[in-house]
Amino acid sequence: MKTDDILPVRRVRRALLLGQVATYHVIARTAGQAMLFGDLEKEMFRSQMRAVALFCGVRVLTFCILDNHVHLLVEVPAEKPELTDKELLRRSAALYGGKERSRHALRLETIAEALAEGGAARDRMRSLLIRRMSDLSMFAKLLQQRYSIWYNRTHDRHGTLWSGRFKSVLVEGKGLPLALVAAYIDLNAVRAGIVKDPADYRWCGYAEAAAGVRAATEGVCRIDGDSDPKRAFARYRLLLYVKGYAQGAGKPADATIPEELMREARERYGTLTPFESLRHRVRYMTAGAVLGTGLFVERWFHRHETSFPKRVTGARRLRGGDWGSLRSFRDLRKDT
């Protein structure tokens, strides 16, 4: 298998893109959909998310943390990094240098001692750490495990916190597909009826970007494809508010951004076709397996068409609105 192959996953629940930068929409839910996350819990998840991302070299483009599930849009590097011992220690400090430790976790002093010792001990430690980097599954595993340890200790709780492993959708990392999935994530609190304006929900990437948080602002620039933060934020805000104004399928009419906010965004930043007719709440964002332009999805399919003998083509049109060139690998007949 070539290193740049896209790997199909059993039942097409998870697709990985190797040998090049890849973007994924990651979803993790609590066991039994229990409403376990209050303000403190959401703050800790955000803190641990940033720490694990720094260690793994994964870029969080945006996110939303709700009471019983989380959404992340992450960009994973193409290859394992080549790091100096100093940089390896810096990254390790983000994950293993805190006061909250598991008896199973590495300790920063142990890492430093092994690197300073040199020889076989240094090589083993470097290999152990670098294997955990630039990998979607390892990023999600470390985050879920470390958060579970903190949560159970804090609440004197035992047992499974998460409803199994995370779900993910491979997303084309540019243009319309990337922007739509990002907006889907940032609008979750609006669609849940928690806030009217996503800028008011402190546990999402858009609100952090609006507040000037550097990592979130860089995420918006990456989503928009413009290195200028002001231009990128303006365009993304317009997309977000126009999209959030459209009523989602199966959602009450008040689970939308108010018309006055949408109109204010349009007056300030202009029109936004073809997004005007798009609906927000569609399963393709969370269950489409692969989401992108027709060319992106077809390339995935043709590399692995032997795994799908009953199919002639891979790309499927999205239902429920005018989605332009956007396609999904899975044909989902019902919006949620």
Q: What angle do CA 297, 333, 196 make, to 5 degrees?
A: 90
Of 10-14, 111-115, 331-335, least confident by mean pLDDT is 10-14
Domain boundaries, the chain: 174-281
pLDDT tens digit sequence for 136-158: 999 999 999 999 999 999 999 99
Token pair of 293 as six digits: 């332009």
Q: Which of 141-145, 233-237, 318-322 has the highest mean pLDDT?
A: 141-145
Cα R_g (the chain), whole angstroms: 21
| Residue 112 confidence (pLDDT) | 94
The pLDDT tens digits for 153-203 are: 999 999 899 998 899 999 999 988 899 899 999 999 998 899 999 999 999
Residue type, 313: T
Determine how β-strand 167-171 pairs with β-strand 290-293.
parallel
Q: What's the start-to-end Cα distance of the chain, in Å?
A: 37
Count of residues for the chain? 336
β 316-317/22-29 pair status: unpaired
Phi, psi of 71 (to 5 degrees): -125, 135
Predicted confidence at residue 13, as pLDDT, reads 54
* Three-class DSSP category at 291: strand
Chain-centre distance for alpha carbon 96: 23
Percent of the chain with pLDDT over 90: 54
Whether 130 contacts 112, CB under 8 Å: no
State the average pLDDT for the chain.
84
**More reliable by pLDDT, 43 or 101:** 43
What pLDDT was estimated at residue 254? 59
pLDDT at 58: 97
Tokens 């290195």, located at residue: 227
Binning the chain into helix, strand and coil, the percentages to the nearest 5 are 50, 15, 40
Pairwise CA distance, residues 302 & 321, whole Å: 27
Q: What is the pLDDT of residue 10?
A: 43
- The three-state secondary structure class of 116 is helix
More confident residue, 254 or 22: 22
pLDDT attached to residue 327: 85
Sign of the CA dihedral 262, 179, 26, 40? negative
Residue 302 pLDDT more than 90? no
Cα–Cα distances in angstroms (integers) from residue 333 to residues 10, 207, 252, 288, 330, in the given order: 21, 33, 21, 11, 9
Mean pLDDT, range 241-248, rounded to an integer: 71
Q: Where are the beta strands (DSSP E) in the chain?
A: 6-7, 16-17, 22-29, 59-65, 69-76, 167-171, 290-293, 316-317, 326-328
Q: Which residue did the predictor score with more confidence, 321 or 97? A: 97
Predicted confidence (pLDDT) at residue 212 exceeds the cutoff of 90? yes
